[in-house]
Amino acid sequence: MVTVLVNENPIEVEENATLSQLLQKVNTSVEGIAIAINDEIIAKNTWKSKAIKNNDNVLIIKATQGG
């Protein structure tokens, strides 16, 4: 297991887990979100293959509507 910060909350995931697997673990839909790892935006088409490393800082940004 490795520990990553997801929106400043520590989460344990399997070693070599991908971003897609992390999203499933934290029950987050892939619709309307962007993800950055260690302040670098990650392209959506790489989420299934992008591995998460121990101590990565993952930021999940959700689009919102306002008015």
Residue 50 confidence (pLDDT): 96
Q: Does the predicted TM-score (pTM) go above 0.85?
A: yes
Residues of the chain short of pLDDT 70, as ranges, are 66-67
Q: Top-level CATH class of 2-62? A: alpha beta
Q: How far apart are alpha carbons 12 and 54 in whole angstroms?
A: 9
